[in-house]
C-alpha cells in the first residue's frame, strides 16, 4: 500500500508540473497582439500568400497581407521560411475522454461525453505539437445510437470548461456494422447477447428509436400548442432524456455523426434519415463511401474518413486510400480524421495522402483538415481558414505541412501560444532534473534494486472506439 | 544407417528453402492428418478467406526478367553519390550497369527517365507480411502465432501467402522487400526475407529462413495498464521471477541446441558414436546458437533491451533488437556490442506520461549520432507497411538527415539482414529491385512510375487500384 501511495505521489508530481509551467506561460506571457511576419500563409479560402503577415488582436485574426504594422507591445514571430495554416480540426477524436463507450444498451442518447472530459490528458499536448487545435470528441461505436459529442479547443493547461468550443453545433454519435453487432465480443456462456446482432437489427433499432422520438415530439408539440392557445390545467409530457436528443436531430438542431464502413449500411441510414426527415451530417470512417459517393452527396451528408485502416477487420477489407478523392469529386464535403491520439499528431500527412492517392489538388487536400471539418461541426464561421475576424487558431510549420520533413514550431489558439517547440526544448533539462530529484525522494525510490517497474502505457494503435468496451463484460 | 538431414537456417540459396529430412516429413504427415481433420471443421471459415486476396496476383502474374535501360534519370545510388543524369541497365535480374554514360545492350527496352529519379527498392524489416490478411473477425486468415511458447521450427516462409492483397498494395509504393516474422510465445519461429513478388513462397524467397525471433520476456507480461502499472496491480517480485524463469527456459533450450549440434556433428564424422535422436526444435536452432544466423529479440523498453544484449552476449548469439523504443537510452551499449536495432515505433505514442512529445520521432537520429546500426521499419502486420517512407520522413523531420533517412529504409535494413551484397543500393551486380519516381522517394506527394523486382517489371496495380478503377467513374 505504501508503495502504491508513493507511486501515486510521483504520478501527481510528474503530471502536474509541466502543466503548471504551461499555465504560467500561456496566462502571463501571452500578449493581446501578435504579428507573424513574412511567412507563407495557407489561407485555405483565399489561396496561398507568400512573404505575408498575419496580425492577431484579442484572439482574432485582425489582418492578413503584406507590410502589416504591429502595435507597440505586440509579440512578433518571424515567419521567414515558415508556413502558417489554420489550426487542424480533428472531426473524430476520443482524446481526453475518461471513458468512451456506454455500451450496455443499444440506444444511449442520454449520456454525454461532456461529463467525462479530462483536461490533463498528455496526448492533448502531443496533438498540439502536430498543429491540431480543435477536436470533435465522440462517444464510441458500441451501439447504434450512442452518446452526445463535445467539440473542444485544445486549451491544454486550462480548466475543462475553457476547452468547450462555444457555439459548436451539438452532435450525437451513431454507429453501424461490426462494432454494433459486437462481432469482436466473445459470446460468453451465461451472458445474454445484447440486441442487435445483425445489420437488420441495427436498422430496426434506429427506426424504433426515431419512431418513439417522433411520437414524443408530437406529444410536446401538442402540449405547447395547447398552452399557446391558453388552455389551462394541462399536464406536460414526461421528460425523456433518451428521446430529447433524437427530437433535436429531427428538428435539425443536433448533428448526426454516424460511424459506418460498408456501402449497404450507409444506404440504410440514408434511407432512415430521408424517411424521418433528418440529415446525417457526417458519415464517420465511411470506408466504402467511394462505392456510394453519389448517394452520400445527394443526401447532403459529409464524410469524415482516413486513408489507412483497411483490412484490419472484414468490414474494412474493401477500404481504399482513393476514398477521399472519389467522394470529394462526387461533391461530398470530406474531412480526414484520426480516431486515435497517435494519428491525430500527423493529420497533415494523412490529408496529403489524398494528393498521392487520388490526385486531389493541394487546396482540396488542405481543406480536408481545416474548413471541411469546420463545416461538419458547424464552426466554419469561427475557424478552418485564415480570414480577418476568425479565431486566431494557427499552426506554424518549419516547412510545407504536406512535406514529410516538416514539423510544427508553434501552435496558437485564440492568439495564445499553446505549443512552442523552442519553449518545449528549453524546458527539458529542468524537467529531467525535477524528475531525478523526485525519484531520489525517499517515498519514490525503486522498490527493487536496480530496476523500476516499467510504466507501460501503450495505447492501442488507432480504432479506439472499437477497442474499448466498457460496462458489459462480466 | 541413417543420415540426419541438415536443415541449415542459412539463406542465400532459394532452392534450399524447403529441404527437410525424412523424419521430419513423417512427423509432418502425422501432424497433417490432424491438421486436415481440423481443417474440415474450419472449412466454412476459410471459405471466406479464400475469396479475399489480390486479384492482380491471383491472375498469376509473375512477369519474366527483362532487359531494360532507364535513361537520363537522376540516380540515387544510396551507397555512393547521386548521378544527376545517368542510366541504369537491368538484365537477368541484376543491375548490369549504372553511370552517367553506359552502353545499353541491344534489344533493351528503353525507359525515358527525364525528370524522374531511380532509387533502390525500400526494405521493411519489421512486418508479418503475408501471415495475416484480416486480424479481427477472420481468424482463418491469421497465421502469425503458433500454439505454445517454443516454436523455433515454425517458419514464416511456409505460411506466407503470396496472394495476400497486402503485398500488391505495399510494393506499388516502392517497397520491394520485407522481413516477415512470426509473433507468438517466447521463441516465435523463423522470419523470412522476401521479395514482394511471386506466385509461390519459393519465388518470393530471398533468405527463406532469415532470423530466429525471440520475444524477450516482458516485465509484468503483456504490458498495458496505467502509469506505474496500477491498473493491473501486479506483484513486482513475482513479475521479475516470472521473467527470469522464462529467460531460463530459453537459455536451457538454446544450450540444448548447442549440445545437440555438437553431438550431431560428431556422429556425422564418426558413425560408431551413439546416434543422437532427432529433435526438430533443436535442429532448427543450431545455426542460430552458432551465430551463423541472427536472432531477433523483440524488446522495446530499456531493461528489456539491456537484458537481451546481456543474454545474447552470454549465449554468444548474433542479436538484432526489434522494436527498440528506448534504444536511444541504451545507445552506448548497443554501439559497444555492435547490436543493430530495427526501429518499429516511430509513430508510436511516447510510452510514458512525462516523455518528451517527440521521443519516438527522435529515436533514429539519436542512434545515428551515437553510431549505432539501425534501420526504420513500419512494425505493421502488412496492410500499412506502405507507410514506411513516412516513418523515415518523420525521423528526418526530427533530426535525421535526409540521406540517412533514405538509408534507414534501404541500405541499413539490407546490411542488418545481411543481404547488402544483393540489395539496398544501386550497384552493379545487385538484384534489380528498383523504383522510378517523379520526386523524393520519401515524400508523400511523390508517385511511383516504374517498379522492378528481381529484374521483372511489375505492373503498378493492386487490389486498391482495381477497386478505384471499378468505382471512380460510377455515375
From chain B, pick out residues whose CB is under 8 angstroms from the CB of A289. none
Strand A132-137 relative to strand A88-93, pairing: parallel
Predicted local distance difference test score (pLDDT) of residue B50? 39
Above 90 in pLDDT, residue B35? no
Mind listing the pLDDT tens digit for each residue in B151-192? 999 999 999 999 999 999 999 999 999 999 999 999 999 999
More confident residue, B93 or A6: B93
Task: Specify whether B199 is located in the same domain as B240.
Answer: yes
From chain B, pick out residues whose CB is under 8 angstroms from the CB of A294. 474-475
Query: Average pLDDT of B187-213?
Result: 97
Within a domain: B20: no
Give the closest-approach CA distance of B280 to chain A in angstroms.
34
Give the closest-approach CA distance of B49 to chain A in angstroms.
10
Within a domain: B165: yes
Do residues A74 and A31 make contact, with C-beta atoms less than 8 angstroms apart?
A: yes
C-alpha cell at position A144: 447504434
Could you say which of B388, B403, B423 is where a domain stops?
A: B423
Cα A84 to Cα A296, A388, A419, B175, B188, distances in angstroms: 33, 15, 14, 33, 48
Do residues B426 and B120 make contact, with C-beta atoms less than 8 angstroms apart?
A: yes
Could you say which of B423, B445, B460 is where a domain stops?
A: B423
Pick from A184, A310, A435: which is nearest to B136 by CB? Answer: A184
Question: CA-to-CA distance for A269 and A473, rounded, in angstroms?
Answer: 29
Give the 3-state DSSP-derived string for A26-41, with helices as H, strands as E and coil as C: HHHCCCCEEEEEEEEE
Do residues A312 and B135 make contact, with C-beta atoms less than 8 angstroms apart?
A: yes
Strand A48-57 relative to strand B175-180, pairing: unpaired
From chain A, pick out residues whose CB is under 8 angstroms from the CB of B352. 455, 457
Establish if A7 touches chain B: CB-CB under 8 angstroms.
yes
Task: Specify whether B322 is located in the same domain as B465.
Answer: no
Task: Specify whether B393 is located in the same domain as B437.
Answer: no
Within a domain: B368: yes
Establish if B442 touches chain A: CB-CB under 8 angstroms.
yes
Task: Specify whether B221 is located in the same domain as B246.
Answer: yes
Establish if A28 touches chain B: CB-CB under 8 angstroms.
no
Give the closest-approach CA distance of B176 to chain A in angstroms.
19
Task: Specify whether B180 is located in the same domain as B255.
Answer: yes
Q: Which of residues 273-312 of A touch B (CB under 8 A)?
A: 290-291, 293-294, 308-312
Predicted local distance difference test score (pLDDT) of residue A447? 63
Domain covering A88-381 assigned CATH 3.20.20.140 in the classification: yes
Task: Specify whether B274 is located in the same domain as B409.
Answer: yes
Within a domain: B3: no
Establish if A357 touches chain B: CB-CB under 8 angstroms.
yes
**Which residue range(s) make up the domain with B434?**
63-120+428-475
From chain A, pick out residues whose CB is under 8 angstroms from the CB of B475. 294
Provide the 3-class DSSP secondary structure of residue B407.
helix
Task: Specify whether B328 is located in the same domain as B460.
Answer: no
Q: What distance, in Å, lies between the first and last C-alpha atoms of chain A?
A: 27
Handedness of CA B367, B167, B206, B181 (dihedral sign): positive
Establish if A342 touches chain B: CB-CB under 8 angstroms.
yes
From chain A, pick out residues whose CB is under 8 angstroms from the CB of B136. 183-184, 312-314
From chain B, pick out residues whose CB is under 8 angstroms from the CB of A457. 225-227, 349, 351-353
CATH at residue B333: 3.20.20.140
Task: Specify whether B249 is located in the same domain as B102.
Answer: no
Query: Average pLDDT of B3-7?
Result: 37
Give the closest-approach CA distance of B196 to chain A in angstroms.
18
Above 90 in pLDDT, residue B29? no
CATH at residue B475: 2.30.40.10
Within a domain: B9: no
From chain A, pick out residues whose CB is under 8 angstroms from the CB of B220. 453-454, 456
Establish if A326 touches chain B: CB-CB under 8 angstroms.
yes
Q: Which of residues 429-458 of A touch B (CB under 8 A)?
A: 431, 435, 447-448, 451, 453-458
From chain B, pick out residues whose CB is under 8 angstroms from the CB of A458. 223-224, 348-349, 351
Handedness of CA B118, B119, B120, B126 (dihedral sign): negative
DSSP structure string for A183-235: TTS---TT-PPPSP-SHHHHHHHHHHHHHHHHHHHHHHHHHHHHHHTT--SPP
Mind listing the pLDDT tens digit for each residue in B271-323? 999 999 999 999 999 999 999 999 999 999 999 999 999 999 999 999 999 99
Q: What is the DSSP letter of A425?
A: H
Task: Specify whether B109 is located in the same domain as B127.
Answer: no
Do residues A46 and A65 make contact, with C-beta atoms less than 8 angstroms apart?
A: no
Within a domain: B49: no
Predicted local distance difference test score (pLDDT) of residue A169? 98
Establish if A321 touches chain B: CB-CB under 8 angstroms.
yes
Establish if A400 touches chain B: CB-CB under 8 angstroms.
no
Burial of B400 (0-12, 13-18, 19+ CB in 10 A): buried
Above 60 in pLDDT, residue B37? no
Above 60 in pLDDT, residue B74? yes
From chain B, pick out residues whose CB is under 8 angstroms from the CB of A154. none
Mind listing the pLDDT tens digit for each residue in A295-326? 999 999 999 999 999 999 999 999 999 999 99
Establish if B473 touches chain A: CB-CB under 8 angstroms.
no
DSSP structure string for B88-123: EEEETTEEEEEESS--PPTTPEEEE-TT-EEEEPEE
Strand B319-323 relative to strand A416-420, pairing: unpaired
Predicted local distance difference test score (pLDDT) of residue A441? 86
Establish if A356 touches chain B: CB-CB under 8 angstroms.
yes
**Mutation target among A329, A353, A428, A456 for the B interface, most CBs of B within 10 A:** A456
Provide the 3-class DSSP secondary structure of residue A342.
coil
Strand A171-175 relative to strand A255-260, pairing: parallel
From chain A, pick out residues whose CB is under 8 angstroms from the CB of B358. 129
Give the closest-approach CA distance of B174 to chain A in angstroms.
13
> Look-up: residue for cell 518499429?
B344
Cα B84 to Cα B115, B204, B410, B433, distances in angstroms: 10, 32, 20, 20
Mind listing the pLDDT tens digit for each residue in A20-58? 444 444 454 567 899 999 999 999 999 999 999 999 999
> Look-up: residue for cell 440514408?
A270
Question: CA-to-CA distance for B362 and B376, rounded, in angstroms?
Answer: 12
**Mutation target among B134, B362, B444, B448 for the A interface, most CBs of A within 10 A:** B444
With an 8 Å Cβ cutoff, are A455 and B352 in contact? yes
Establish if B443 touches chain A: CB-CB under 8 angstroms.
yes
Pick from A126, A424, A457: which is nearest to B352 by CB? Answer: A457
Above 90 in pLDDT, residue B360? yes
> Which residue of chain A is at minimal alpha-carbon distance from B442?
A404
How many residues are recorded in chain A? 474
Within a domain: B103: yes
User: Domain coordinates of chain A in residue numbers?
Assistant: 2-86+418-440, 88-381
Domain count within chain B: 2
Question: CA-to-CA distance for A410 and B196, rounded, in angstroms?
Answer: 41
The whole-model pTM stands at 0.89
Predicted local distance difference test score (pLDDT) of residue B54? 53
Tens of each residue's pLDDT in chain A, 474 residues: 444 444 444 444 444 444 444 444 445 456 789 999 999 999 999 999 999 999 999 999 999 999 999 888 899 999 999 999 999 999 999 999 999 999 999 999 999 999 999 999 999 999 999 999 999 999 999 999 999 999 999 999 999 999 999 999 999 999 999 999 976 677 778 777 889 999 999 999 999 999 999 999 999 999 999 999 999 999 999 999 999 999 999 999 999 999 999 999 999 999 999 999 999 999 999 999 999 999 999 999 999 999 999 999 999 999 999 999 999 999 999 999 999 999 999 999 999 999 999 999 999 999 999 999 999 999 999 999 999 999 999 999 999 999 999 999 999 999 999 999 999 999 999 999 999 999 888 887 766 554 445 554 444 444 455 544 333 322
DSSP structure string for A50-108: EEEEEEEETTEEEEEESSPPPPTT-EEEE-TT-EEEEPEEEEEE-TTBS-----SSSB-
Angle between helix B388-397 and B363-370 (nearest 10): 70
Pick from A129, A326, A428: which is nearest to B472 by CB? Answer: A326
Name the architecture of domain A2-86+418-440.
Roll (2.30)
- B29-60 in b/e burial notation, b at 16+ Cβ within 10 A? eeeeeeeeeeeeeeeeeeebbeebbbebbeee
With an 8 Å Cβ cutoff, are A456 and B223 in contact? yes
Above 50 in pLDDT, residue B15? no
A vs B, Cβ pairs < 8 A, gives 179
From chain B, pick out residues whose CB is under 8 angstroms from the CB of A18. 354
Mind listing the pLDDT tens digit for each residue in B227-256? 333 444 557 778 778 899 999 999 999 999
Task: Specify whether B270 is located in the same domain as B372.
Answer: yes
Task: Specify whether B90 is located in the same domain as B238.
Answer: no
Task: Specify whether B115 is located in the same domain as B127.
Answer: no
Pick from B301, B464, B475: which is nearest to A322 by CB? Answer: B464
Amino acid at each position: 500500500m505504501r508503495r502504491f501511495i508513493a507511486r501515486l505521489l510521483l504520478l501527481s508530481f510528474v503530471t502536474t508540473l509541466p502543466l503548471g509551467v504551461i499555465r504560467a506561460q500561456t496566462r502571463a506571457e501571452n500578449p493581446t497582439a501578435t504579428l507573424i511576419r513574412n511567412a507563407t500563409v495557407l489561407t485555405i479560402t483565399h489561396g496561398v500568400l507568400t512573404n505575408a503577415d498575419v496580425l492577431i488582436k484579442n484572439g482574432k485574426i485582425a489582418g492578413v497581407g503584406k507590410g502589416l504594422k504591429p502595435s507597440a507591445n505586440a509579440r512578433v514571430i518571424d515567419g521567414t521560411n515558415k508556413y502558417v495554416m489554420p489550426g487542424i480540426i480533428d472531426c473524430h477524436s476520443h482524446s481526453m475522454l475518461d471513458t468512451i463507450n456506454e455500451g450496455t444498451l443499444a440506444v444511449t442518447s442520454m449520456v454525454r461525453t461532456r461529463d467525462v472530459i479530462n483536461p490533463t490528458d498528455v496526448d492533448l499536448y502531443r496533438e498540439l505539437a502536430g498543429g491540431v487545435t480543435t477536436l470533435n470528441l465522440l462517444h464510441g461505436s458500441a451501439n447504434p445510437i450512442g452518446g452526445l459529442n463535445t467539440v473542444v479547443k485544445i486549451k491544454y493547461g486550462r480548466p475543462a470548461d475553457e476547452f468547450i468550443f462555444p457555439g459548436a453545433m451539438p452532435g450525437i454519435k451513431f454507429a453501424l456494422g461490426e462494432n454494433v453487432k459486437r462481432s469482436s465480443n466473445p459470446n460468453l456462456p451465461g451472458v445474454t447477447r445484447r440486441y442487435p446482432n445483425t445489420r437488420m437489427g441495427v436498422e430496426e433499432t434506429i427506426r424504433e428509436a426515431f419512431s418513439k422520438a417522433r411520437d414524443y415530439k408530437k406529444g410536446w408539440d401538442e402540449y405547447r400548442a395547447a398552452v399557446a392557445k391558453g388552455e389551462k390545467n394541462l399536464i406536460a409530457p414526461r421528460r425523456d432524456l433518451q428521446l430529447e436528443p433524437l427530437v433535436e436531430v429531427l428538428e435539425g438542431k443536433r448533428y448526426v455523426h454516424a460511424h459506418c464502413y460498408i456501402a449497404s449500411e450507409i444506404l440504410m441510414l440514408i434511407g432512415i434519415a430521408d424517411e424521418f426527415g433528418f440529415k446525417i451530417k457526417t458519415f464517420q470512417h465511411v470506408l466504402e463511401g467511394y462505392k456510394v459517393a453519389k448517394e452520400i452527396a445527394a443526401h447532403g451528408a459529409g464524410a469524415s474518413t482516413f486513408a489507412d485502416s483497411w483490412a484490419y477487420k472484414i468490414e474494412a477489407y474493401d477500404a481504399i486510400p482513393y476514398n477521399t478523392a472519389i467522394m470529394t469529386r462526387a461533391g461530398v464535403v470530406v474531412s480526414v480524421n484520426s480516431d486515435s491520439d497517435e494519428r491525430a499528431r500527423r493529420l497533415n500527412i494523412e490529408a496529403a495522402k489524398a494528393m498521392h492517392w487520388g490526385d486531389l489538388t493541394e487546396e482540396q487536400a488542405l481543406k480536408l483538415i481545416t474548413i471541411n471539418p469546420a463545416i461538419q461541426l458547424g464552426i466554419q464561421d469561427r475557424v478552418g481558414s485564415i480570414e480577418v475576424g476568425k479565431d486566431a487558431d494557427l499552426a506554424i510549420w518549419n516547412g510545407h505541412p504536406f512535406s514529410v520533413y516538416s514539423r510544427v514550431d508553434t501552435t496558437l489558439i485564440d492568439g495564445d501560444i499553446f505549443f512552442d517547440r523552442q519553449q518545449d526544448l528549453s524546458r527539458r533539462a529542468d524537467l529531467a532534473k525535477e524528475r531525478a530529484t523526485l525519484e531520489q525522494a525517499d517515498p519514490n525510490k525503486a522498490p527493487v534494486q536496480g530496476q523500476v517497474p516499467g510504466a507501460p502505457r501503450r495505447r492501442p494503435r488507432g480504432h479506439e472506439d472499437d477497442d474499448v468496451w466498457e460496462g458489459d463484460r462480466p | 544407417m541413417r543420415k540426419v538431414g541438415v536443415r541449415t537456417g542459412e539463406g542465400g540459396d532459394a532452392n534450399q528453402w524447403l529441404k527437410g529430412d525424412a523424419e521430419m516429413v513423417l512427423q509432418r504427415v502425422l501432424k497433417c492428418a490432424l491438421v486436415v481433420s481440423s481443417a474440415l471443421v474450419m472449412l466454412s471459415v476459410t471459405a471466406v478467406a479464400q475469396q479475399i486476396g489480390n486479384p492482380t496476383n491471383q491472375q498469376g502474374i509473375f512477369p519474366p526478367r527483362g532487359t531494360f535501360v532507364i535513361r537520363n534519370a537522376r540516380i540515387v545510388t544510396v551507397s555512393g553519390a547521386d548521378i544527376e543524369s545517368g542510366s541504369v541497365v537491368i538484365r537477368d535480374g541484376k543491375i548490369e550497369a549504372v553511370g552517367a554514360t553506359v552502353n545499353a545492350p541491344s534489344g533493351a527496352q528503353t525507359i525515358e527517365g527525364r525528370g524522374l529519379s531511380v532509387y533502390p527498392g525500400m526494405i521493411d524489416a519489421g512486418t508479418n507480411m503475408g501471415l495475416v490478411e484480416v486480424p479481427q473477425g477472420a481468424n482463418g486468415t491469421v497465421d502469425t502465432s503458433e500454439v505454445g511458447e517454443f516454436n523455433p521450427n515454425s517458419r514464416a516462409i511456409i505460411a506466407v501467402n503470396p496472394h495476400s492483397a497486402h503485398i500488391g498494395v505495399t510494393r506499388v509504393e516502392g517497397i520491394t522487400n520485407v522481413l516477415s516474422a512470426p509473433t507468438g510465445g517466447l521463441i516465435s519461429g523463423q522470419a523470412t526475407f522476401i521479395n514482394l513478388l511471386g506466385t509461390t513462397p519459393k519465388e518470393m524467397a530471398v533468405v527463406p529462413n532469415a532470423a530466429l525471433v525471440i520475444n524477450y520476456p516482458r516485465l509484468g507480461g503483456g504490458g498495458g495498464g496505467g502509469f506505474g502499472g496500477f491498473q493491473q496491480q501486479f506483484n513486482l517480485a513475482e513479475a521479475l521471477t516470472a521473467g527470469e524463469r522464462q529467460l531460463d527456459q530459453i537459455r536451457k533450450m538454446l544450450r540444448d541446441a548447442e549440445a545437440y549440434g555438437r553431438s550431431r556433428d560428431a556422429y556425422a564424422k564418426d558413425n560408431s558414436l551413439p546416434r543422437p535422436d532427432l529433435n526438430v526444435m533443436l535442429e532448427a536452432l543450431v545455426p542460430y546458437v552458432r551465430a551463423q544466423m541472427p536472432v531477433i529479440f523483440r524488446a522495446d523498453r530499456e531493461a528489456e533491451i539491456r537484458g537481451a544484449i546481456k543474454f545474447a552476449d552470454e549465449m554468444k548469439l548474433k542479436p538484432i533488437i526489434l522494436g527498440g523504443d528506448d534504444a536511444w537510452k541504451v545507445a552506448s551499449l548497443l554501439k559497444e556490442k555492435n547490436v543493430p536495432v530495427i526501429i518499429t515505433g516511430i509513430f508510436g505514442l511516447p510510452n510514458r506520461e512525462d516523455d518528451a512529445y517527440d521521443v519516438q520521432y527522435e529515436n533514429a537520429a539519436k542512434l545515428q549520432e551515437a553510431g549505432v546500426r539501425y534501420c526504420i521499419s513500419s512494425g505493421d502486420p502488412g496492410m500499412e507497411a506502405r507507410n514506411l517512407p513516412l516513418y523515415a520522413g518523420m525521423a528526418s523531420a526530427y533530426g535525421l538527415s535526409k540521406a540517412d533517412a533514405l538509408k534507414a529504409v534501404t541500405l541499413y535494413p539490407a546490411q542488418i539482414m545481411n543481404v547488402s551484397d544483393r540489395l539496398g543500393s544501386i550497384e552493379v551486380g545487385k538484384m534489380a529491385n528498383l523504383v522510378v519516381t517523379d520526386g523524393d522517394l520519401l515524400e508523400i506527394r511523390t508517385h511511383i512510375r516504374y517498379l522492378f523486382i528481381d529484374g521483372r517489371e511489375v505492373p503498378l496495380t493492386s487490389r486498391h487500384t482495381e477497386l478505384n478503377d471499378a468505382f471512380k467513374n460510377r455515375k
